[in-house]
Structure 1
């Protein structure tokens, strides 16, 4: 039996080598310890802080030929101790994170089908949410055109909870029914620009009358622009949303973001920026109008503070946000870096009770060290100084300290490759 397996492996390896195909198999183990005392929301009285270790384990295989790309990523996500020792089965943390094939019709045009990460630009609207142990992927079809400095993608997805003989009402929670989007990108010498159009369909279900079940669509349109000259760079995001939200309110919302970065030296880089996401007065749509912007499928953890008080499973349809920030990136040597960020948060719309729009200030520190080629260690600490407006927003007036600390080890070896 062992001889058969060995012969199969040798044959497969020779086949890949002789057909000019490329095969790469790699893995990832990423445990992360977290201490939470006011993460995502203000810490209440009479509660103990949370502490745990979560872990992501992945096995990835990529196969490339002249006419085909193929990729599979299997992952297990768990919390240390979530099942007893000597248990006969794990919790359901095992999943297929990606499984796609890309047909290359010619050097410029391809069709990518299957479960895949969709990520564009700075990941403001579409991102892989890599910080989350499970990450984000989509079951989608993607038509791609790529020539020289121009890229054009058309994406389509249509979701169902299961096979059926009648009806197409989606019952899967926390996902969209259907999306269609177009993304265009062009690079010039010192400037690059992207344009995105997203038609986002959410399933509305009427529990009393199934005849009223329908898909309600909103549209997001906007640009991501970058300019770089010498040591100075500028980045902007401009997006507008219209159409209808899930509650059938008329949607009219926007996001405006601008960031400037300057490289002081080979070791120091500073960034100054601000972002405005529109919101609703008193935190809810009124008179059939919704003015709150939603950054649908972006990597929201990387924006608006690392403590995830905004737009990470929360703050949707609320008072919006004004985020003014100053960041510094310090490169000590080839192995270690330190990122420091200070955010000042304000509501973009009126809070209930004529409260001040000031929400608070957050400080984020992240240190990264490359222990060796395939091993990285990161550690972070964040502290939120909440204002009265944040207490109103989160309905917590206990006045406790809010902080969060974590340390993460990422081990990513390449197990096998035919790449030269």
Structure 2
């Protein structure tokens, strides 16, 4: 099953719903007793540059994301949400937006922020005392988004046409389930790669009654009908907790091919992460391993993840090498005078054979200017002597306005 939307119809529907939402707000004490709506509009302007070694020219992108969100509560148990996103170029446009979006600029490095207008979310939801059920186009964020997320860093985020259930069915337990029909990817509706048909089931169970932390168990049965090589079955368990000023996480997952995946492979995932944190500073280290299976022809795959959060902000390893990847990292952060600073160092190598893949330094500084406006400067520098992975430098400058 796949939701099909026409852009002009989207715009008309959003404007109509916004009008009805505002009207309901104005009249909620009269004709529309019990119905309330809110309309939020936010903006995110970003400059991104990518300077990559090799034959590709430098990418320079200047884009603005405008988002309108209409939330309507029809009763104490039923509500709806419609969210409409537009991404526009407002300056530099010398970049490859990826997946065939900009065929005239494929000689430039990739900045995966295509222009366009999309219905980002549109769902109806029932909320009971301990359980909610939603149907339609919606965000799905599981845990730290290592396996399933929204790719919120990109201007056009990833959402899911799905049926979801969230239930706190017992004390300290929380169950999340989603059946996904279609994944609306960051590349937009104008290209074939912008949508992937799915027959996917996602299950996650959290238990908070074990020490000062959360034990999570998950099963992700991913059947990607548009890209069979991304289909797999993943079982995993994670524990994250705190001990005084220390925070830590331990995780293991096992994955094998699923659906119609042409590869016959098995791979494991490991994570060890620790952090010491005080009020204004923190530092930590970790090791993340996505296993490889060269004989099976595929490494551990996380195709629905918010990949930008992991393995370096330069986004070199959006796909796991067949030999797998080990990421040994250290990080530190501090706050001063309203500024937030963070730096991360990564050392990458293959899981099988220990081949050096390169190193990366990431740095970000952000500041909340007032209650509505925030600013960010972000930098990533990936360096490698491995011919398969070109060295590159990325810079971002971003302003975000939220009401």
Q: Same fold (TM over 0.5)?
A: yes
Q: Which has the higher contact order (CA 8 A, sep 6+)?
A: 1
Q: Distance in 2 between matches of 1:194 and 1:182?
A: 10
2:177 counterpart residue number = 154
Q: CA deviation at 1:301?
A: 0.2
Q: Tell whether 2:313 aligns with 1:300.
A: no
Q: Does the CA-based 8 Å contact 2:251-2:270 persist in structure 1?
A: yes
In structure 2, distance between residues paired with 1:8 and 1:160: 28
User: Shift of the alpha carbon at 1:14?
Assistant: 3.1
Residue 82 (structure 1) shift: 8.4
Could you tell me which of 151, 174, 185 is aligned with 2:206?
A: 185
* Matched-pair contact (CA < 8 Å) for 2:21–2:36: no
Q: Give the conservation status (yes or no) of the 8 Å contact 2:220–2:234.
A: yes
Is 1:407 the counterpart of 2:382? The answer is no
**Structure 2: distance between partners of 1:364 and 1:216:** 28
Unaligned runs of 5+ in 1: 84-90, 162-170, 206-213, 351-355, 414-420
CA distance in 2, matches of 1:23, 1:10: 8
Counting matched residue pairs gives: 355
Aligned CA distance change for structure 1 residues 11 and 292 (closer, same or farther; 3 Å): closer
Q: 1:133 to 1:50 in 2, by over 3 A?
A: same
Equivalents in 2 of 1:198, 1:151: separation in Å? 16
Q: Judge which range, 235-244 or 272-281, deviates more.
A: 235-244
Please give the per-residue CA displacement for 1:129-187, whole angstroms capped at 9, x wherever unaligned: 110110110000012212443211221123499xxxxxxxxx87662431012111122
Query: Structure 2: how far apart are the matches of 1:410 and 1:6?
Result: 25
Deviation at 1:23, TM superposition (A): 3.0
- Report what 1:332 is aligned to: 336
Over 3 Å counting, the alpha-carbon distance change for 1:406 and 1:6 in structure 2 is closer
Could you say which residue in structure 2 is the equivalent of 1:194? Answer: 216
Q: CA deviation at 1:337?
A: 0.3
Residues 245-282 of structure 1, C-alpha deviations (whole Å, 9 max, x = no match): 7542222111111110101x31111121110001244x
* Residues 112/204 of structure 1: CA separation in 2 closer, same or farther (3 Å cut): closer
1:236 counterpart residue number = 250
Give the 3 Å change call, closer, same or farther, for CA 242–16 of structure 1 in structure 2. farther
Q: Report what 1:57 is aligned to.
A: 66
* Residue 226 of structure 1, CA deviation: 0.6
Name the residue aligned to 2:123. 100
In structure 2, distance between residues paired with 1:112 and 1:320 = 36
Query: 2:61 touches 2:91 (CA, 8 Å); kept in 1?
Result: no
Structure 1 runs (4+) deviating above 4 angstroms are 5-12, 16-22, 171-174, 214-217
> 101, 116, 126: which one pairs with 2:138?
116
In structure 2, the gaps of 5 or more residues are 1-17, 94-113, 185-191
- TM-score, normalised to structure 2, is 0.80
Going from structure 1 to structure 2, the CA distance change for 1:16 and 1:321 (only over 3 Å counts) comes to farther
